Structure 1
Amino acid sequence: MNFTYPIFLWGLSALAIPIIVHLFNFRKAKKVSFSNVRFLESIKKQSSSNLRLRHLLILFCRLLFVFFLVLTFTQPFIPGSENGLQNRSVQLYLDNSNSLSNLTENDISGFNKLIGVAQEVVNLYPQETQFNLFTNDFLPGSSISQSKTKTLERLTEVEYSNLTRSGKEIFTKLQSSDPNESKDVFILSDFQQSTTGTFDAIVDSINQYHIVAVGTPEQRNISVDTVFLTNPFLVPNQKNSVQVRLRNQGPLVNDLQVKFFINDQQSATTSIDIEANSSHTVIFELTGQLNKTNRCRISFEDFPISFDNDYYFSLNQAAQINIVEVSNQPNSPVSKVYKNNDLFSVESYQSESISYPALERADLIVINGLIKLENGLKAQIEKHLTKGSTVIFIPNESATSYQFGSTTIERDSSVSKSPLSIPDIKNPFFENIFESISNDTQMPNVSASFKWSANNVQLLKTKTGQPFLSHLFQKGNLYVFAGPLTAPYTNFHQHALFVPVMHRIAEQSSTNHQALAFNVDRINLTLPVDSIPNGQLYKLQKEGAELIPSQRVSANELVLDMPKYLLTPGFYDLTLGDQLFTTIAFNHSKKESNLATLPVEEIEARLSGIKHLNLYQPQDAASFSKILKEKYHQRELWKYTLILSLIFLFAESVLLRFL
């Protein structure tokens, strides 16, 4: 045991005072006259014995009171068992993601618990220590060292962040400083499985690491997993609906009220039950007249995790998909299948009267039954594919071969007519087209009279294994039929399968399709646009706030580099000058809604390359501070000595009163 102020040990000389008082009784005796004292002799002996014991006990209490009181002033302590917390450079990472709003064992949020731990860590160091405080925002200037006082001020200003950081990002940031300088590194987090992810082995033999993992007794949460339209394109006067898949990470939930808002007006509500650790899909019909751009929101009540109780998304009316068919066949089945849908704008040209400006504007070019491709048309097709657009090629029965870049499509006279096989509905191309197809379904007969050797995905093939419709991997999307769509060769164009297949190809060719929503931690956004006018910039506006992200146009697409640390969930208007271009919805990262955390054993295994590693799961900030003090600083005993001195003072009072 050591003493902080050993000079106070001279105070032990005060122990002589109660001894002197005990040895010399300065009270004067008073003479009392009695008529007969013969009967008081036995009482006198008994009283003297009791008084002697009483005086000794009082002396003992007084001595111990003075002794422990003096020790209190010396502030005794037991030195720490290890050396540590002595570096003058400290790095502190504080996880401030929304998942830390979950409650800990003490019914306080994990975020408030970590704030308290961080403050205790800073207070353990001397005033001259320099700190680097990092949060998920990775704000500019966070790498600059700050004093103890300034760091404590910053900790009071830290709020929840909409950003998530992986383990790789965190350690890369922490190790970006001087690698030759020894530091104390504190990492305070809940270590979510979904956000921490996997990272390369961390090897460090210089720095001292202290890992503080927040424990939460319950990891339950309800969140929106997916929102999508039954028909991916919102077309006026066509029925459509919004499908919302809710995920329950926890026990059974009964009577959850789910509300659907369109342009701040409640459109529908429903009550659902969600089984434990499962998902449930809710369908809201889109009724009434919708605007060109619509702000929509899914809302419900869930406690204690409430940051993801609202999910924002925008419904924009689909722009028409421009389709240009080049064919010498009047009223071809291709033009018929597209002309019956308001989503498509179809133009048809014969080979000798092609409009090349129309080809430039087209989202989808259909080459149907041409015997030969003229050089100008061939160049336009290759240019179209180069910029990532879509081409459907249907050969002519009289042609011998075609050339697309390095891909040769040539006639195969050895193939006979054969029915198509049942399509693989697990292929992403057929997603949401068929729920199921019976093996007894009668399929069309086709003649796969052309073949190719390029890399491709076979979407439709005959029962003999010959490809009939394939997706060839060019710079764009080239869909090739293995035979003409005419009666002598096939009845595919008259089969029920023809319409959904052709519609799916056209839908995937759309360059104007915008996602319903984005995450706030998205690095960049890509939107269809022709160009940025000179001297003008696209701006993001929300409730009076204005952001001007870095932007560029590439291949008819606007690429916005998003300022992640400035984005918040909700709606942003993308404007050019005074004109509204579109409305974009942002939400919290779906990873953040998954509250499952890494076990302590796995954290230790992933950080096994760190030589000096300490891992803690404290109950609260005070207990964590006590653990560090006892381990690295000292175990203070002055509180115990003060209590003991008061106990003996109380014992002396009791003896004086009752004995």
Structure 2
Amino acid sequence: MQFRHPELLYALILLVIPFIVHLFKLRKFQKEAFTNVKLLKKVVQENRKSNQLKKWLILIARTLALAFLILAFAQPFIPSGKTAKQSTSTLLYLDNSFSMQLRGEHGPMLQHNIQQLLENSQQNDQFGLFTNNKDFGIISPSEDQSELQDIDYSSNSMNFNLINLKARQFFNEHPAEVQRLVLISDFQQNLGDLNKLENIAYHFVKNEAQNISNISVDSAYAIDKNLNQLSLRANFSTTEKLDRDIPISLKNGEQILAKKSINFKENKQQEVEFRLQAEEIENGIISIEDNGLVYDNELFFTYAETPKINVLSVSGSDADFLNRIFTKDQFSYINFDENEVDFSAFSSADLIILNEVEHINTALQNQVLEKAKEGTPVCIIPASNLQLQNYNSFLSNLGLPIIKNKQNKELLITEISFEHPLFEDTFEKEISNFQYPEVQSFYNFNKDASAALAYQNNNAFLMNSGNSYLFSAPISQENSNFQNSPLIVPVFYNLGISALKTPSLYFEVGQENIFDVNIAGNGDQVVEIQQNSADSFIPLQQNTSDKITVTTTELPENAGNYMITYQEKRILPISYNYPRNESDLNYLDINEFENIEKQTDLNTFFESTKAAQQIDVLWKWFIIFALIFLTIEMLLLKFFK
């Protein structure tokens, strides 16, 4: 037994008062001579014994009544568990990722968890709560419960490390003797490994889906396009093999463009090709019929005519190889002789190439540097007989290494940096043996730079600093056979298509996505991205003389087809989809985790913690006993003769 106010037990000293009173009443009386009557003496002796018994009984009753009254004010109790008297702090993580759309025993798992949260937030002490996309802070019974009711599915997901980071921050702000972290999830394998924090009790509430069969539209991409036809390929996957035909439809808004079916009898992954008319698809949707997860049943995409990329070159030698690479179907290519440059063409250039120009005059330098500041890529191929001081001043302004000297020595170009951004998605696999191109002479530089291609001695052949690229040797036929190498096409073609970042078929929600809108910015006017007239946002953007570079990160939050507008004009359709990592329904076995409390549902957790905190209060019983002994005292005084 324990006491809520043990300091009041000092009042038990007052129990000496009844004893003092009792002893005072037992003091000896003076003897007086009296007639020696035998009968009277006997009556007096019996009466004296009776009075003594009565006084002792009254003393006991009075003492016990006072003792029980003092103990009642000290509020005695018996704790039900070890943590009953300790301060507690509870934090709940509610997994609201898309995998929680599956149905459990009581319906959709997330909705069932929300209902239990609403019930227990009214009946239990306050607790902290966070989800994959929102931190609710402390939830108390007096708060409006509408925030809990509005919890929706999120494309975000957390792993154990992020959950622990949130928990550490919360318990630092709300310290307590007992700290509980409750994870409410289906515990997919993408949670990773659990590294438990010290002094925190972990509770796992695992949601079990009744049926984990799911079919997903994973991705789509264009594989071929000509004047009249577009070939679109879509990838599908399932969690288990299915011997039945699954209907697929491809629509542009409400217009059905194609219908097909797939069967997963032999393979859990399938690929379907659609052949469409090569015309703009503003609201493309590829959809399937599936009773599993809902979010991955549709894939949104847009297809629009890609604007031609403006490539401008200034040449001091033959530029025919550039003309063959930058074909008219994708590029608008123009070349100027170094002595006959039309500087007005620079304003619309998306890529500038200086092809073996011997002397870069001031006017040309100013035009190139101005475009470079706007983010326009610049590629420099040095001339065999260049003016060193003139070149070095220009290279320094671009942030590139400067030339030290020229070396007349044959070198092979043997190294490809496959991870370089210039070669992203270019090679299906790394290759080590190929027909190495060579150079007869090359330049040495004062420092290293990021190399996309390198010689056999590991010095850079093609280097870059930001959007500025530099060859370390002339590539004319007189000095190198690089123009005849298979490498020349991916180098310059990739430079060309990276110059204007046109929107893909779709982007992923929650990722950093960068693309260019091929319009000239005008003052304070900005582009907007909108799904309808009531739902729009202004993305991060950078204006240049001929295009606007748009970056989206946290917005939009929802998958769908959107439209880029400028000055209230519809400019370009664009699409976003949720990442598909929640579609892979593989789960952790939480029985493998040690020192973890496992609960079947939230109600069970709250009931167990409430029972551990519960105490058996005894003060009422002590009041009752005090009243009983006071009553006994009164009865003794009145009726005991």
TM-score bracket for this pair, using the shorter chain length: 0.5 to 0.7
Which residue of structure 1 aligns with residue 11 of structure 2?
A: none
> Which residue, 370, 376, 400 being the options, matches 1:389?
376
Aligned residue for 1:325, secondary structure, equals strand
Distance 1:166 1:549 in 2: 31
- Spell out, residue by residue over 1:74-97, the C-alpha distance to the aligned partner (whole angstroms, 9 max, x if none): xxxx98444359979765443322
Check 1:346–1:552 CA distance in 2 against 1; reply closer, same or farther (3 A cut).
Answer: closer
Distance 2:445 2:492 in 1: 21
Distance 1:451 1:275 in 2: 61
2:289 alignment partner AA:
E
- Spell out, residue by residue over 1:619-646, the C-alpha distance to the aligned partner (whole angstroms, 9 max, x if none): x5565555455555499xxxxxxxxxxx
Equivalent residues in 2 for 1:448-597, closer than 5 Å: 448-452=441-445, 454-456=447-449, 459=452, 469-470=461-462, 472-480=463-471, 482-486=473-477, 488-494=478-484, 498-510=488-500, 512-522=501-511, 527-528=516-517, 533=522, 536-549=525-538, 551-553=540-542, 557-559=548-550, 564=555, 567-597=557-587
1:372 aligned to 2:359?
Answer: yes
CA contact (8 A) 1:397 1:484 kept: no
Which residue of structure 1 aligns with residue 31 of structure 2?
A: none
Which residue of structure 1 aligns with residue 43 of structure 2?
A: none
- Spell out, residue by residue over 1:26-61, the C-alpha distance to the aligned partner (whole angstroms, 9 max, x if none): xxxxxxxxxxxxxxxxxxxxxxxxxxxxxxxxxxxx
1:192 aligned to 2:188?
Answer: yes
Distance 1:446 1:109 in 2: 66
- Spell out, residue by residue over 1:231-253, the C-alpha distance to the aligned partner (whole angstroms, 9 max, x if none): 6xx7x727653333334444467
CA-CA distance at 1:342 after TM superposition: 2.1
Check 1:134–1:532 CA distance in 2 against 1; reply closer, same or farther (3 A cut).
Answer: farther
1:98 alignment partner AA:
F
CA-CA distance at 1:198 after TM superposition: 7.5
Q: What's the RMSD between the two structures over aligned residues?
A: 4.4
Check 1:600–1:323 CA distance in 2 against 1; reply closer, same or farther (3 A cut).
Answer: same
Distance 1:387 1:602 in 2: 56
Check 1:442–1:559 CA distance in 2 against 1; reply closer, same or farther (3 A cut).
Answer: closer
Which residue of structure 2 aligns with residue 99 of structure 1?
A: 99
Check 1:599–1:374 CA distance in 2 against 1; reply closer, same or farther (3 A cut).
Answer: farther
Distance 2:339 2:381 in 1: 18
Which residue of structure 2 aligns with residue 651 of structure 1?
A: none
Distance 1:600 1:103 in 2: 20
Distance 2:164 2:307 in 1: 45
CA contact (8 A) 1:359 1:380 kept: yes
Aligned residue for 1:122, secondary structure, equals helix
Distance 2:464 2:268 in 1: 38
Check 1:364–1:583 CA distance in 2 against 1; reply closer, same or farther (3 A cut).
Answer: same
Q: Which runs of 5+ in 2 are unaligned?
A: 1-77, 617-641
CA contact (8 A) 1:258 1:269 kept: yes
Distance 2:194 2:518 in 1: 37
1:361 aligned to 2:348?
Answer: yes
Equivalent residues in 2 for 1:201-600, closer than 5 Å: 202=197, 210-216=203-209, 219-230=212-223, 237=227, 240-251=230-241, 255-274=245-264, 279-285=269-275, 287-291=276-280, 294-329=282-317, 332-338=320-326, 340-399=327-386, 401=388, 402-403=391-392, 404-405=395-396, 406-409=400-403, 412-416=406-410, 429-430=422-423, 446-452=439-445, 454-456=447-449, 459=452, 469-470=461-462, 472-480=463-471, 482-486=473-477, 488-494=478-484, 498-510=488-500, 512-522=501-511, 527-528=516-517, 533=522, 536-549=525-538, 551-553=540-542, 557-559=548-550, 564=555, 567-600=557-590
2:184 alignment partner AA:
L
The count of residues paired between Structure 1 and Structure 2 equals 527
TM-score when normalising by structure 2 = 0.68
Distance 2:476 2:228 in 1: 29
CA contact (8 A) 1:250 1:276 kept: no
Distance 2:606 2:598 in 1: 11
TM-score when normalising by structure 1 = 0.66
User: Mean Cα displacement is larger for which, 325-334 or 215-224?
Assistant: 215-224
Aligned residue for 1:478, secondary structure, equals strand
Distance 2:194 2:440 in 1: 52
Equivalent residues in 2 for 1:13-24, closer than 5 Å: none
Which residue of structure 2 aligns with residue 646 of structure 1?
A: none
CA contact (8 A) 2:228 2:278 kept: no
Kindly name which structure, 1 or 2, has the bigger radius of gyration based on alpha carbons: 2
Aligned residue for 2:576, secondary structure, equals strand
2:277 alignment partner AA:
G
1:447 alignment partner AA:
Q
CA contact (8 A) 1:230 1:241 kept: yes
CA contact (8 A) 1:313 1:585 kept: yes
Distance 2:188 2:457 in 1: 47
- Spell out, residue by residue over 1:120-175, the C-alpha distance to the aligned partner (whole angstroms, 9 max, x if none): 533552xxx44555444427xx4465425743x65445443444445555555563
Distance 2:207 2:127 in 1: 22
1:122 aligned to 2:121?
Answer: yes
Q: Which runs of 5+ in 1 are unaligned?
A: 1-77, 606-613, 636-659
Aligned residue for 2:107, secondary structure, equals coil
